[in-house]
């Protein structure tokens, strides 16, 4: 393909868009807040990685790349992108404005590979809550922010369904935070279209009495439709979308575009944005814009460069998108009647009750740390693999001898330890202190091999009881609810063997300090 430069693509920007109106949700549909027209996502997934050298590969900080790609978006005829990985410490004004100028809304994933809920060893703690809040702060001021995605395929098999409890708690706490800032930004979740668990996930993130703990929209990453001969029914798209026919929140196809059969034809768009699905779905986003190692790209680009090479899929997608125009409804004439979902019952494939982890409290964790007589030394680094391994081995032994329930959890029973929301260093210090007190402060009881610890002769808080008021406030719901429904699905299956946190697995979290949920 011929290599073209930004100067050529700048000529394509013949249509200037006024400031985009914020999107709003009513029932199971998105609308333009000012015109009242129904909004359908007609977009691409956007995460150029080639040439990026930073730890967090943030395409919305690449001003050259954004100006290059904004013109391409205009030519493609898209109105939205999804961005998976961004750095809240960087400035995104230029890129967000460039995209707004060509009529493009942006869906932002809050987690990154270095700051997310780990599906195998999940926790929702004070550190993660703070990271998520900072991401919200970084993007909440843009007109063309379509919404936040709180998790992408975090639970992706029946073996890790407990992680969903922590994702749902994060939805509750981030929505609460957004409202406290007097903002209205939808927060959604995305699944991986796994047959064994998809129905449970779809119900779970839209069930319960607390609206803050329910997702505002739901995304599906699906690659069912493969090849030019596939149809709406033969691909299984009809089965994929059917659970959403009476869903009370919008559903977006957040990834699609199977590449196992080449060339891609993108015929599924005619269903997603046509008569088959336009009354149920809110559109979708093609995976993905840039050519990376997985061979899904529409173009070849490099971070910081204005050069671009269009691939064959670019024109194919452009032509298909130009052929679809979903009808939609006006917000004023739309009267939704769908109800929230029933929470899924406990089963072999679903190990989560309706009870949620409590909202993380930095005050409670600080109070707990101030009450300890034995803790990790301040020199301990949670990013040091050698220290984490040594700590994990020692703590596993300790928790085999004493109860560590205050820093662990059971998602089936809905039991969450009083300090389970503290960060991994704080939870580890709690365990060391409990062991120290169990040995009545004996000489050497605070020592760990290869880990520096400290004995505190005069703790700032005289006892853990001084933290009781803070914990009572949390459990009463002042800092977030811990239960999301009047019906506890755990009771429906009391004979099932409950998921109990394995202590060795619990301390593996110290070995994986950053949960990867991609």
- CATH number of the domain bearing residue 422: 1.20.58.1040
Write the CA distances from 5 to 8, 9, 10, 50, 100, integer angstroms. Answer: 6, 7, 9, 17, 21
pLDDT at 317 over 90: yes
The residues pairing with 454 across neighbouring beta strands, listed in sequence order, are 375
Query: 174: part of which helix (H) or strand (E)?
Result: helix 163-180
- Compute φ and ψ for 189, nearest 5 degrees: -130, 150
DSSP letter at 154 equals: S
Q: How many angstroms separate the most distant Cα atoms in the chain?
A: 78
495 domain residue, yes or no: no
Q: Let me know whether 124 and 219 are in one domain.
A: yes
pLDDT at 496 over 50: no
CB 20 within 8 A of CB 27: no
The mean of the pLDDT values for the chain is 90
For residues 163-190, give the mean pLDDT.
98
Q: Let me know whether 318 and 396 are in one domain.
A: no
pTM of the model: 0.90
pLDDT at 376 over 60: yes
**Looking at 85, 100, 153, 288, which residue is catalytic?**
153
Catalytic (active site) residue 153: yes
Q: Let me know whether 127 and 227 are in one domain.
A: yes
13 domain residue, yes or no: no
Last residue of a domain, one of 292, 323, 354: 323
**Looking at 100, 120, 195, 255, which residue is catalytic?**
255
Catalytic (active site) residue 75: no
Q: Let me know whether 406 and 453 are in one domain.
A: yes
Q: Which domain holds residue 100?
A: 23-323
pLDDT at 235 over 80: yes
pLDDT of residue 39: 98
Q: Let me know whether 255 and 391 are in one domain.
A: no
pLDDT at 514 over 80: no
Q: Let me know whether 100 and 197 are in one domain.
A: yes
Write the CA distances from 147 to 304, 365, 372, integer angstroms. Answer: 26, 31, 41
349 domain residue, yes or no: no
What is the number of domains present in the chain? 2
pLDDT at 518 over 60: no
298 domain residue, yes or no: yes
pLDDT of residue 383: 82
Last residue of a domain, one of 323, 347, 372: 323
CB 359 within 8 A of CB 479: yes
pLDDT at 503 over 80: no
Q: Got the DSSP string for 325-388?
A: -----BGGG----PPPBPPPPPBTTB---SB-PPPP-HHHHHHHHHT-SEEE-TT--TT-HHHH
Both tokens of residue 416? 């969450």
Q: Let me know whether 190 and 305 are in one domain.
A: yes
């Amino acid at each position: 393909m011929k290599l073209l430069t930004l100067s050529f693509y700048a000529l394509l920007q013949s249509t200037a868009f006024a400031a985009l109106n914020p999107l709003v949700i009513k029932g199971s549909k998105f609308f333009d807040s000012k015109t009242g027209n129904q909004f359908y996502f007609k977009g691409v997934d956007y995460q150029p990685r080639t040439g990026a050298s930073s730890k967090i590969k943030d395409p919305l900080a690449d001003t050259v790349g954004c100006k290059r790609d904004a013109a391409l978006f205009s030519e493609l005829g898209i109105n939205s992108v999804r961005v998976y990985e961004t750095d809240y410490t960087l400035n995104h004004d230029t890129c967000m404005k460039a995209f707004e100028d060509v009529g493009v809304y942006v869906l932002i994933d809050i987690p990154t590979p270095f700051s997310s809920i780990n599906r195998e060893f999940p926790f929702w703690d004070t550190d993660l809550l703070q990271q998520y809040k900072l991401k919200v702060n970084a993007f909440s001021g843009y007109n063309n922010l379509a919404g936040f995605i709180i998790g992408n395929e975090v639970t992706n098999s029946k073996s890790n369904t407990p992680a969903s409890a922590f994702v749902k708690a994060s939805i509750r706490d981030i929505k609460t935070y957004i409202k406290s800032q007097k903002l209205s930004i939808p927060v959604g979740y995305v699944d991986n279209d796994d047959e064994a668990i998809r129905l449970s996930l779809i119900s779970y993130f839209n069930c319960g009495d607390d609206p803050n703990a329910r997702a505002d929209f739901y995304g599906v990453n699906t690659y069912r439709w493969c090849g030019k001969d596939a149809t709406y029914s033969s691909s299984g798209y009809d089965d994929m979308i059917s659970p959403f026919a009476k869903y009370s929140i919008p559903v977006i196809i957040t990834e699609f575009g199977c590449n196992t059969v080449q060339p891609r034809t993108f015929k599924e768009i005619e269903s997603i944005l046509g008569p088959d699905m336009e009354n149920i779905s809110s559109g979708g986003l093609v995976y993905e814009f840039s050519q990376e190692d997985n061979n899904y790209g529409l173009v070849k680009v490099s971070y910081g460069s204005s050069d671009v090479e269009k691939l064959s899929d670019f024109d194919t997608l452009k032509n298909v998108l130009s052929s679809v125009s979903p009808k939609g409804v006006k917000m004023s004439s739309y009267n939704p009647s769908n109800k929230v979902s029933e929470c899924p019952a406990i089963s072999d494939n679903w190990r989560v009750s309706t009870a949620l982890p409590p909202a993380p409290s930095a005050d409670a964790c600080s109070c707990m740390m101030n009450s300890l007589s034995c803790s990790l030394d301040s020199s301990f680094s949670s990013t040091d693999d050698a220290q984490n391994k040594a700590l994990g081995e020692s703590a596993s032994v300790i928790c085999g001898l004493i109860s560590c329930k205050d820093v662990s959890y059971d998602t089936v029973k809905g039991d969450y330890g009083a300090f389970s929301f503290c960060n991994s260093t704080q939870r580890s210090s709690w365990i060391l202190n409990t062991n120290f007190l169990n040995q009545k402060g004996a000489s050497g009881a605070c020592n760990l091999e290869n880990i520096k610890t400290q004995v505190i002769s005069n703790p700032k808080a005289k006892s853990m009881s001084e933290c009781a008021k803070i914990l009572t406030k949390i459990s009463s719901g002042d800092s977030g609810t811990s239960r999301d429904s009047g019906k506890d699905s755990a009771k429906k299956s009391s004979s099932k063997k409950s998921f109990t946190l394995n202590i060795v697995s619990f301390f593996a979290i110290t070995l994986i300090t950053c949960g990867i949920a991609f």
